[in-house]
Amino acid sequence: MGKRIGKQTVALARPPVLRGWAAVAGKKEGEGPLKNAFDQIAEDPYFGEMSWEKAESRMLRICFSLACDKAKLPPSKLDYIVSGDLLNQCISSAFAMRDTAVPYFGTYGACSTMAEALSLGAMLVDGGFAERVCAVTGSHFCSAERQYRFPLEYGGVRAPTAQWTVTGAGAVILGREGAGPHLTQITTGVIVDAGITDANNMGAAMAPAACATLKAHFADTNRSFADYDAVFTGDLGAVGHDILQSLLEKEGYDMGVKYMDCGMLIYDRRTQGVNSGGSGCGCCASVLAAHILPAMEKGIWKRVLFAATGALMSPTSAQQGESIPSICHAVVIERED
């Protein structure tokens, strides 16, 4: 039985265990700073399929299977899959999971999907509704480019503030039993719209949402950055990272060196031509599974705040002159010893 400990935060009574996880990445991501961390790196951007959308779907399926394998869990033992993605009508997750025969909850949180899925999954486990849940999401550079921006062949020049959609996926198996770090608290974001209309500057649009959720989390839990070994945002990129840093500094928070953004960790911005950094559902999902959780397993970090950020816009809303509503969902992951 969970407990609300603040306006946006719940504490889990018997914190679910993260008992297995996997990360799959594309070629470019596999050449970046985390190249030795992914479970699988695909040389073929099509993942053996005939379209970018099917490739993305195949990647999610591979990642899901790897996570089940690593958790030593046959997929049929899962009580729920919570999944979602960036494609219109979330087809990459639906098609990826259509032959699993596992009860399925589709989510849409844009690039915040991993934290949303972990939040819902953890509450289903802690609430007594499930023994085992898989949270899984991903994104693909090529399907995102053609849906949100231009055909790849057009070769459009990218704005300096633009981000590079990560080809990658992450999956985590939550369970009531098992070994691994625990998900202990959940701070669910409210939608924040700071009035940014530039679809090439998602970091600026999402930073205020990240700021709001971090502030809410610290207020609800009576904690600060000092209580964490590391704090991660999802995919603000360098531009959004710096905006968040100055927003929080203005509020008197001392972030020190503990704050990192997954969109900055996944690429080498000096050499990989990704401008402000990585983005997409697969960005923080794959960094979580490839980098953060393994580091926790090794004991490098004991308590981590994982705050995934999402821009809840569409090309249609942008074309209609609308600003970009954003959201940030945060979860606390910790190991006991």
Binding site for its own copies (CB under 8 A): 1-4, 8, 10, 13, 50-51, 53-54, 79-80, 84, 86-91, 94-95, 97-110, 116, 119-120, 123-124, 126-131, 188-193, 312-317, 320, 322, 325, 327
- Asked if 334 contacts 193 with a C-beta cutoff of 8 angstroms, the reply is no
CB atoms within 10 A of CB 95: 18
Taking alpha carbons only, the member of 22, 96, 76 closest to residue 291 is: 22
Nearer to its own copies, 30 or 280 (CB): 280
Nearer of residues 25 and 233 to its own copies, judged by Cβ: 233
Count the Cβ atoms, other than its own, within 10 Å of residue 91: 15
Of the pair 57, 201, the CB lying nearest its own copies is at 57
- Taking the complex as a whole, how short is the minimal distance between the CB of residue 27 and its own copies, in angstroms? 23
- For the CB of residue 78, give the shortest distance to its own copies in the complex, in Å: 11
- Give the E-state strand segments of 118-244 in sequence order: 132-139, 164-165, 168-175, 182-187, 230-233
Shortest distance (Å) from residue 7 CB to its own copies: 8
Considering beta carbons, is residue 182 or 269 the nearer one to its own copies? 182
Distance CA 235, CA 230 (A): 16
328: left (phi over 0), alpha (psi -120 to 50) or beta: beta
Least Å distance, CB 122 to its own copies, is: 10
Cβ 105 to its own copies, closest distance in Å? 6
Contact 115, 307 (CB under 8 A): yes
CB of 94 or CB of 219, closer to its own copies: 94
Please identify, using beta-carbon distances, which residue of 118 and 333 lies nearer to its own copies. Answer: 118
Q: From the CB of 273, what's the least distance to its own copies, in Å?
A: 26
Q: Confirm if 165 and 106 have CB atoms less than 8 A apart.
A: no
Tokens 């996997």, located at residue = 22
Question: Under DSSP, is residue 327 helix (H, G, I), strand (E, B) or coil?
Answer: strand
CB 265 within 8 A of CB 37: no
